[in-house]
Structure 1
Amino acid sequence: MRWFIAIFGAALLATSAATAGEQYVNASGYANAGYDVVAYFDLEQAPLGAAQPEAVPGSPRFTATYNGAAFAFANAHNRDRFLADPARFAPQYDGHCAYGVAQGGKVPGNPHLWRIRDGKLYLNITPNVVSFWEEDVAGNIDKAEANWPGIEPTPASEMAIPKFDATAAPSG
C-alpha cells in the first residue's frame, strides 16, 4: 500500500497548470478522451471486481461543448441527449479520477475504467486504482464529495492517462 501512496502522490504532483475548474482533456482535444459519455448509460454494467464493457468512441462529426471542453458522441441522438442535460451525463469531478479526488487531488480519469452509481458517471485512472475504489465505493464517493469543493478550483490535470491507447478516440 505504501508504494501505491508514493506513486499516487507523485502523480498528483505531476499535474500541471490549466484553467481552474476545467474538464480534464487529454491530447485528443476532447473531454473523456473523445469517448461518448452518454453511451455508458446504455451499456450493461459489470459487477464489482469485473471489467466494464469498453467505452464507445465518439466521432468528430457529433460534438458539443460543456464546462469549457468539447465532448464527442457516437451519433446525433447521443449528442442531443447530452445537450438536453449535460450535467446528467458528464463524468463526475470534471473527468478526473474519482479515487484520486477521494484521496485529495486531481489525476486523469480513464474512459475505460468507469462505473455508474446513483445515475452518475465515475472514472478511475488505472485498474489497480479501480480495486481500491471498489473496496468501498460509497465511502469513496463520500470522501470525494467532501474533498471536491476544495479541489475543484485547482487547475485541471494535464497528466497523460497511464498505459492508455488513444487510437480509438476521435482526433481533434
Structure 2
Amino acid sequence: MFLMVALFFAASSLYAQTNARTKEFNLENNVALQGYDPVAYFTVQKAVPGKKEFAVQVEGVTYYLSSAANKALFQKEPARYVPQYGGWCAYAMGAKGEKVEVDPETFKVLDGKLYLFYNAYFNNTLPKWNQDEAKLKAAADKNWAGIVH
C-alpha cells in the first residue's frame, strides 16, 4: 500500500512539473527554442536549426537537435542545455518579470547556462542585459521562480 501511495505522489509530481513546463515555457506546438538545437549554442557557439528526425522529448517539451551527436549529448544531460527562464527573454524576465518572445539567434552562454534575448524592431535587449547583468540575472532568477514555483 505504501508503495502505491509513493508511486501516486511521484507520478503527480512529475505530471505537475511537466504541466508547468508545457504551460509556462516558450513553446510552439510543444517545441522549444523555435526548433533550434540547444546543444549547438554550447558546442559551436551558434544558433543552429534542429531537425525533427533528431527530436527528443523531456518532461513534455520537444527539442530538435541538428545531429545524432548533439542528440546523444542532450539525452545524456538535458538540464545542462535547456534555456533559462523557459526560453523567454532573460532581459525582460529580469527587468519586469515578463515573458517576452526571443530571437533564438540572440543569445549568451553564461556560467554554462543558455540565455535568450528579444531582438526585433531596432530593440536588441542583449546589450541592455550586459550593462547590468548581475542585477538583472538575480531579478530574473527570482521572477522565474515565482512563475514556475
TM-score scaled to structure 1, two decimals?
0.66
Structure 1 outlier segments of 4+, above 6 Å: none
Tell me the residue number matched to 1:135: 131
Structure 2, unmatched stretches of 5+, are 1-18
User: 1:1-172 to 2 correspondence within 5 Å?
Assistant: 20-22=20-22, 23-26=25-28, 30-44=31-45, 53=46, 55-102=47-94, 103-126=96-119, 127-152=123-148
1:21 is displaced (CA, Å) by: 3.5
Name the larger-Rg structure.
2
More strand by share: 2
1:74 is displaced (CA, Å) by: 0.5
Contact kept? 2:117, 2:124, Cα under 8 Å? no
- Count matched residues: 125
More helix by share: 2
Deviations 1:76-131 (A, max 9, x none): 11111111111100001111111121121112232111000000000011252222
Contact kept? 2:36, 2:104, Cα under 8 Å? yes
Q: Partners in 2 of 1:135 and 1:39 — Cα distance?
A: 26
Q: Partners in 2 of 1:125 and 1:152 — Cα distance?
A: 21
Task: Assess, with a 3 A threshold, how the Cα gap between structure 1 residues 67 and 93 changes in structure 2: closer, same or farther.
Answer: farther
Q: Partners in 2 of 1:67 and 1:131 — Cα distance?
A: 32
Q: Partners in 2 of 1:152 and 1:106 — Cα distance?
A: 12
**AA in 1 matched with 2:99:** K
Q: For residue 108 of structure 1, give the secondary structure of its aligned residue in structure 2.
A: coil
Contact kept? 1:106, 1:151, Cα under 8 Å? no
Contact kept? 2:21, 2:61, Cα under 8 Å? no
1:145 is displaced (CA, Å) by: 1.0
Q: Compare relative contact order (CA 8 Å, sep 6+) and give the higher one, 1 or 2.
A: 1
**AA in 2 matched with 1:25:** L
